[in-house]
Structure 1
Amino acid sequence: MENIASVTLDVADIEAAERFYSAAFGADTPLRFRASQEPSTGFRGFTLALTVPQPADVDLLVDRAVAAGATVLKPVTKSMWGYAGVVRAPDGAIWKIATSARKNAGRATGRIDAFVLLIGVADVAASKRFYTEHGLTVSKGFGRVYAEFDPRTGPVTLALYRRRALAKDLGVAPEGTGSSRLTVGGSGAGFTDPDGFAWEAASPALNA
């Protein structure tokens, strides 16, 4: 498994999800959708993060998402790390839109520089070992707190963070039960990671 080719979200209504994400973030994302009613409550253990060029782009994408039906979990604000906001999509997936830039260099374009799947894990070190054994390469790490993998040619960057710390950062309680309602499409054979997230070989179809 050398890279992530796509991320599939389980949704109740595929057409509604396609409309929302196209309006909020544009059509050119590595998202796919699968119709499912599998139960899930509370925090699903992950967030999808969009890194953008400047604060104006954070504002633009958050505003678009809210206009399309998203709920604000954390209003856009400045921090020591940059500028970010957190929203929950109508299907329940949590999105963080962020930039490390502190000032605008021009008008907002809505360009997305990086698409990151950030998983909240029980043990960062153990999950990092698991993923390196499955062919991913660590590009950045902070001990047992955070790890990020080289996406190589894939459109999605995988990162790991402690589950409770991730939930706190997103403004939600860490507890959750049932399905994560997420499947990761990779370049190799399928497997289930130590925190229960399912990976499968990515297919060429747009939606399953």
Structure 2
Amino acid sequence: MNAFDSVVLEVADIEAATCFYSAVLGSDSPYLCLRASQDPTSGFRGFALSLVVSQPGNADALIDAAVDAGGRVLKSASKSLWGYGGVVQAPDGTIVKVATSAKKDTAPVSRDVGELVVLLGVEDVKASKEFYAGRGLSVGKSYGSKYVDFAADPGHVKLALYKRRALAKDVGVSAEGTGSHRLVLCGAVGACQDLDGFVWQAAVPVPR
């Protein structure tokens, strides 16, 4: 078991969220479902979505589209040792990181997303790694107590774990937050709740 199927985001304003994610992922994304929710939440919700693209121009195009659709820039796009990228926050509060390991464009610019990664901020990376490995996910990369990602077949959603405070710092927000994660992960490990309260459910079809 090397992937999971889709992500449910629970949002207060379906219309605004639909506009934003259609601009960023396309109106027929197989990875994302929106669900209305008024569950209390404040501050950092403990996760981020990472959109991995092939080149800097694509990252800029996605970030521009996100801002035009109501997103707010948390970190302006810039070069770094690992590549190029930036961070925006969706109208529903979800944090979206757009990144590429490439440092220059080698093809016409597009808004194609090569990979969707769910970054979970957890209190104990090693314990959460064991939790997910014990439920059938195969470890891809592992850097002790700092970071773990799990293998994912092409066309599926990838899962990665950070320390909560490290993830908050990476995306440019305070680590403080309370209430609902407003996130449900579908497939892979089946119906359960992990060590940090992230909820999984059996795979469900994503509405087209």
TM category, shorter? over 0.9
TM-score, with structure 1 as normaliser: 0.95
The answer for the alignment partner of 2:104 in structure 1 is: 103
Taking the TM superposition and a 5 Å limit, the aligned residue runs for 1:122-141 are: 122-141=123-142
* CA displacement at 1:55 relative to structure 2: 0.3
Corresponding letter in the other structure for 2:54: P
Superposed CA RMSD in Å reads: 1.5
Taking the TM superposition and a 5 Å limit, the aligned residue runs for 1:3-14 are: 3-14=3-14
The answer for the alignment partner of 1:201 in structure 2 is: 202
Percent identical residues: 54
Contact 2:52–2:115 (CA under 8 A) maintained in structure 1: yes
The answer for the alignment partner of 1:18 in structure 2 is: 18
Taking the TM superposition and a 5 Å limit, the aligned residue runs for 1:88-167 are: 88-152=89-153, 155-167=156-168
> C-alpha distance in 2, partners of 1:36/1:189?
22
Contact 1:2–1:188 (CA under 8 A) maintained in structure 2: no
* CA displacement at 1:2 relative to structure 2: 5.0
> C-alpha distance in 1, partners of 2:171/2:186?
24
> C-alpha distance in 2, partners of 1:28/1:53?
21
TM-score, with structure 2 as normaliser: 0.95
Please list every run of 5 or more consecutive structure 2 residues that lacks an aligned counterpart in the other structure: none
- Tell me the secondary structure at the aligned position of residue 109 of structure 2: coil
* CA displacement at 1:106 relative to structure 2: 2.1
* CA displacement at 1:151 relative to structure 2: 1.6
* Higher mean C-alpha deviation, range 38-47 or range 101-110: 101-110
* Higher mean C-alpha deviation, range 140-149 or range 14-23: 14-23
Corresponding letter in the other structure for 2:6: S
Corresponding letter in the other structure for 2:105: N
* CA displacement at 1:18 relative to structure 2: 1.6
The answer for the alignment partner of 1:74 in structure 2 is: 75
> C-alpha distance in 1, partners of 2:82/2:53?
13
* CA displacement at 1:188 relative to structure 2: 4.8
Q: After the TM superposition, list the runs of 4 or more consecutive aligned residues in structure 1 that deviate by more than 4 angstroms.
A: none
Corresponding letter in the other structure for 1:96: K
Contact 2:136–2:189 (CA under 8 A) maintained in structure 1: no
* Higher mean C-alpha deviation, range 123-132 or range 185-194: 185-194
Number of equivalenced pairs: 207
> C-alpha distance in 2, partners of 1:52/1:138?
22
**In the TM superposition, what whole-angstrom CA distance separates every residue of 1:93-145 from its partner, at most 9, and x where no partner exists?**
00000000011102211111110000011111100000000110001111111
Confirm or deny that 1:186 pairs with 2:148. Answer: no
* CA displacement at 1:42 relative to structure 2: 0.5
> C-alpha distance in 2, partners of 1:116/1:145?
17
* Higher mean C-alpha deviation, range 28-37 or range 155-164: 28-37
Taking the TM superposition and a 5 Å limit, the aligned residue runs for 1:2-81 are: 3-29=3-29, 30-81=31-82
- Tell me the secondary structure at the aligned position of residue 129 of structure 2: helix
* Higher mean C-alpha deviation, range 131-140 or range 147-156: 147-156
